[in-house]
C-alpha cells in the first residue's frame, strides 16, 4: 500500500522516467524471472499512473478551450473522473 501511495505522488515526468528505466532493465535480459515479474507489476502500475495523469491533463485542456470559446463549466475536479 505504501508503494502505491508513493507512485500516486509521483509527477508525470518522474513516473515516466521510472517506467522507462524499468522497461530498459527488463529488456536487458539480465533480470532473474522473479524480479522480472515484480518489475512488470511495477511497470504496469506506473503505466496506469501516467495514463491517468495524461487523461486529467487532457480534460483540463478541454475545459480551458471551452471556457475560452465562451462556454463555462464547473471547476476541474480530477477526483471526479472514471
d(CA 23, CA 38): 12
Residues 67, 73: contact at Cβ < 8 Å? yes
pLDDT single digits (tens) 16-51:
999 999 999 999 989 899 999 999 999 999 999 999
Domains of the chain by residue range: 2-72
Give the architecture (CATH level 2) of 2-72.
Answer: Orthogonal Bundle (1.10)
Return the SS3 of 80: helix
pLDDT single digits (tens) 62-80:
888 877 766 655 666 666 6
pLDDT at 64: 84
Amino acid at each position: 500500500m505504501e508503494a502505491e501511495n508513493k507512485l500516486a505522488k509521483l509527477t508525470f515526468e518522474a513516473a515516466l522516467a521510472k517506467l522507462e528505466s524499468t522497461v530498459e532493465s527488463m529488456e536487458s535480459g539480465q533480470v532473474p524471472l522473479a524480479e522480472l515479474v515484480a518489475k512488470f507489476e511495477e511497470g504496469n502500475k506506473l503505466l496506469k499512473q501516467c495514463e491517468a495523469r495524461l487523461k486529467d491533463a487532457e480534460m483540463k485542456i478541454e475545459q480551458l478551450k471551452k471556457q475560452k470559446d465562451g462556454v463555462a463549466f464547473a471547476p476541474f475536479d480530477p477526483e471526479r473522473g472514471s
